[in-house]
A and B are shown apart, each in its own frame.
Chain A
Amino acid sequence: MPQKRVMQIKEHSLVAPDTWRMVLDGSVSAKPGQFVQVSVSSTYDPLLRRPISVHDDGPDGLALLYRTVGRGTHMLAEKKPGDNLDILGPLGNGFPVPAEQKVILVAGGIGAAPLCYLAKKLGEAGKQVIFLFGAQNATQLYLPKTLIPSLTALEKATDDGSTGHHGLVTELMKKYLENGPLPVYSCGPEGMLRAVVKTAASYNAQAYVSLEARMACGVGACLGCVVELSQKSGKTYQRVCVDGPVFPGEEVFCHGC
């Protein structure tokens, strides 16, 4: 159940260029893939809360990992440890729990934020996690140090070749899908998600993608955040905030068309 809560900032630091990690005192009992709506200002400008994924949650607090892109996220970056933050959450459906023992996670840039929490939880459940991480360059490939040893495999790709595979992260998927389909969980820019879904489909693997949309309420009431899905019943608009943010890949990027 979502709740409105005021939480104190415990830690807040720049972990990569334009990328901040914030830890709040307390847990929201989130599932991987869920998010919170953060109030960045107590005035009317900016008016709306900002949706940010749960990057980690548990007894050590609620962690967020975010990139400063516009006014709201820059205002968030100015907050100091000890400050209070008004949070609404946990929100959204989260990633479905896989039946398989082995899963592939494909992260693009800041899309790694929710996948870190997913990887941690899957690892705790005894699953093997293959983490494929792509970004523009090496400096943007931040992962929490504690997560890395728990991964079965970690492979990186950069657009500029500054580290790992020089090229698209989706090109790394093939090696792991060749021996049979594994479920794929992905979050990142739309172009990458489209390629992830296409690659997974070509190996008969099921892909789940976590989407972004401009949001107002975050709880399903305003119908502002919809994405067009192609389902068996035809075209529908579904709310990213409650029906998502995680959707079966083929419903978002229908292959036939």
Chain B
Amino acid sequence: MAADLTVKIGNLTLKNPVMPASGCFGYGEEYAPFYDLNKLGAVVVKGTTAKPCLGNPPIRLAETPAGLLNAIGLQNPGVEAAREKIRSLAQTGVTVIVNVAGHSVEDYLKVIEVLEQDEGTAAYEINISCPNVSAGGMAFGTDPRIVESLVKTLRSCTAKPLIIKLSPNVTDIAEIARAAENAGADAVSLINTLLGMAIDTSSRRPLLANITGGLSGPAVKPVALRMVWQVSSAVNIPVIGMGGISNAQDAVEFLLAGADAVAIGAANFVNPTVCIEAVDGIADYLVKNGFSSVTEIIGLAKNTSADKKGGACGCGKK
């Protein structure tokens, strides 16, 4: 018998736990030629801002060992133009999660205000973690007090699920996650990209025009997995895990670590059908291992770890 793949994020039910990550799938159009997007749990669209945003100058990409640095700088047509794209994607039956970005609280509010007028948006993913914009962005995501007040403000504006996207570029990600939970977030998603850089030895200059960029891809997976483990242990709201997932097995690792759903970013660039292969692969894994639903494996890796965790000193090391 086929396993039950449905998961819940707040009051939203997803038909399976797999979604493409924000910024890696446009507004869905680009990948529609490759498969039926309705087979996905959801589609998370590009970071959307109140006004159109030009983005950073090129060069915006640098390949690194098993990874990719990007400094796109939130290029997007602005919420009014994005609204049309979101509406047409939703009309095909796809569950659309809109990634909301901004430089100020007012920016975030404006985007939500506009999108609240339509049916198309199923949930908001609040990007408080973009490393590639000079003001706001990641700055919002590194101080738990600011996170708490931003989430409280946004909470009062929508009844739709609010997913807070966390930055890995912090000392204690669990603390930020708790702040989001306390302020009424329905879920958290992590990780956004890790701040990095590359230097061109022939020009003797940083390779990216923005100097720094965000690292993603297989290289970040162990870091992301550890953070998902920590955050899912620290909060009671659902966790959407991402960072370096490139196939079904990686996705299963995140579920076992405590993620209720997973997002796939850079791997789409390498394999345009990776998301759909992950959906099928998770289903196979469940059946082969005798599970009847995906929820049975969420956080399962923690079950046996309680007695293993911590040495006599309580410092977490054996």
Bitwise, A1-21 to B at CB < 8 A (1) or not (0) is 111100000000000000000
Provide the residues of chain A in CB contact with B58, threshold 8 Å. Answer: 213-214, 225-228, 237
Please state if B57 and A228 are interface contacts (CB–CB under 8 Å).
Answer: yes
Within 8 A of B (CB), among A182-219: 213-219
Please state if B75 and A223 are interface contacts (CB–CB under 8 Å).
Answer: yes
Measured CB to CB, the closest approach of chain A to B298, in angstroms, equals: 26
Contact partner of A217 (CB less than 8 A), chosen from B65, B246, B268, is B268
Answer yes or no: B60 CB below 8 A from chain A CBs. Answer: yes
Provide the residues of chain A in CB contact with B75, threshold 8 Å. Answer: 223, 226, 237
Query: Given that A4-B272, A88-B272, A219-B272 are contacting pairs, would A47 and B61 also be in contact in the complex, using a CB cutoff of 8 Å?
Result: no
Answer yes or no: A96 CB below 8 A from chain B CBs. Answer: no
Please state if A48 and B63 are interface contacts (CB–CB under 8 Å).
Answer: yes
Please state if A224 and B33 are interface contacts (CB–CB under 8 Å).
Answer: no
Complexed CA–CA distance, A210 and B161 (Å): 45
Answer yes or no: A26 CB below 8 A from chain B CBs. Answer: no
The prevalent SS among residues of B at the interface is loop
Please state if B62 and A216 are interface contacts (CB–CB under 8 Å).
Answer: no
Within 8 A of A (CB), among B48-102: 54-55, 57-63, 65-68, 70, 72, 75
Please state if A219 and B30 are interface contacts (CB–CB under 8 Å).
Answer: yes
Stretch of A38-46, A57-65, A117-125, A154-162 with 4 or more beta carbons under 8 angstroms from chain B: A38-46
Closest to B208 in A: A214
Please state if B272 and A47 are interface contacts (CB–CB under 8 Å).
Answer: no
Within 8 A of A (CB), among B18-67: 23-26, 29-31, 33-34, 46, 54-55, 57-63, 65-67
Please state if A49 and B270 are interface contacts (CB–CB under 8 Å).
Answer: yes
Provide the residues of chain A in CB contact with B233, threshold 8 Å. Answer: none
Please state if A214 and B62 are interface contacts (CB–CB under 8 Å).
Answer: yes
Measured CB to CB, the closest approach of chain B to A225, in angstroms, equals: 7
Query: Given that A44-B66, A48-B68 are contacting pairs, would A221 and B217 also be in contact in the complex, using a CB cutoff of 8 Å?
Result: no
Measured CB to CB, the closest approach of chain B to A7, in angstroms, equals: 16
Complexed CA–CA distance, A88 and B270 (Å): 9
Please state if A221 and B270 are interface contacts (CB–CB under 8 Å).
Answer: no
Provide the residues of chain B in CB contact with A39, threshold 8 Å. Answer: 270
Please state if A47 and B60 are interface contacts (CB–CB under 8 Å).
Answer: no
Answer yes or no: B218 CB below 8 A from chain A CBs. Answer: yes
Answer yes or no: A220 CB below 8 A from chain B CBs. Answer: yes
Count A-side interface residues using an 8 Å CB cutoff. Answer: 32
Please state if A47 and B30 are interface contacts (CB–CB under 8 Å).
Answer: no
Please state if A216 and B54 are interface contacts (CB–CB under 8 Å).
Answer: no
Please state if B63 and A222 are interface contacts (CB–CB under 8 Å).
Answer: no
Provide the residues of chain A in CB contact with B268, threshold 8 Å. Answer: 217, 221
Complexed CA–CA distance, A47 and B65 (Å): 7
Provide the residues of chain A in CB contact with B61, threshold 8 Å. Answer: 214-216, 222, 224-225
Provide the residues of chain A in CB contact with B29, threshold 8 Å. Answer: 220
Count B-side interface residues using an 8 Å CB cutoff. Answer: 37
Complexed CA–CA distance, A47 and B217 (Å): 8
Please state if B55 and A237 are interface contacts (CB–CB under 8 Å).
Answer: yes
Answer yes or no: A235 CB below 8 A from chain B CBs. Answer: yes
Measured CB to CB, the closest approach of chain A to B265, in angstroms, equals: 9
Query: Given that A48-B63, A216-B70, A237-B75 are contacting pairs, would A221 and B54 also be in contact in the complex, using a CB cutoff of 8 Å?
Result: no
Please state if A218 and B273 are interface contacts (CB–CB under 8 Å).
Answer: no
Bitwise, B218-250 to A at CB < 8 A (1) or not (0) is 110000000000000000000000000010000
Complexed CA–CA distance, A235 and B57 (Å): 11
Measured CB to CB, the closest approach of chain A to B251, in angstroms, equals: 16
Complexed CA–CA distance, A222 and B20 (Å): 12
Closest to A219 in B: B30
Complexed CA–CA distance, A220 and B29 (Å): 9
Please state if A222 and B55 are interface contacts (CB–CB under 8 Å).
Answer: no
Please state if B246 and A222 are interface contacts (CB–CB under 8 Å).
Answer: no
Measured CB to CB, the closest approach of chain A to B104, in angstroms, equals: 23
Measured CB to CB, the closest approach of chain A to B164, in angstroms, equals: 23
Answer yes or no: B7 CB below 8 A from chain A CBs. Answer: no
Contact partner of B72 (CB less than 8 A), chosen from A2, A215, A223, is A223
Please state if B31 and A221 are interface contacts (CB–CB under 8 Å).
Answer: yes
Answer yes or no: B182 CB below 8 A from chain A CBs. Answer: no
Measured CB to CB, the closest approach of chain A to B188, in angstroms, equals: 24
Binding site for B on A (CB under 8 A): 1-4, 39, 44-49, 88, 213-228, 235-237, 242
Question: In the complex, given contacts A49-B269, A228-B57, what are 9 additional A-B residue pairs having Cβ atoms less than 8 angstroms apart?
Answer: A47-B63, A216-B266, A221-B30, A221-B31, A222-B70, A222-B269, A223-B26, A226-B55, A237-B58
Listed by A's residue number, 10 A-B pairs whose Cβ atoms lie within 8 Å are A3-B34, A4-B34, A47-B67, A216-B61, A216-B70, A217-B30, A220-B29, A223-B60, A225-B60, A235-B54
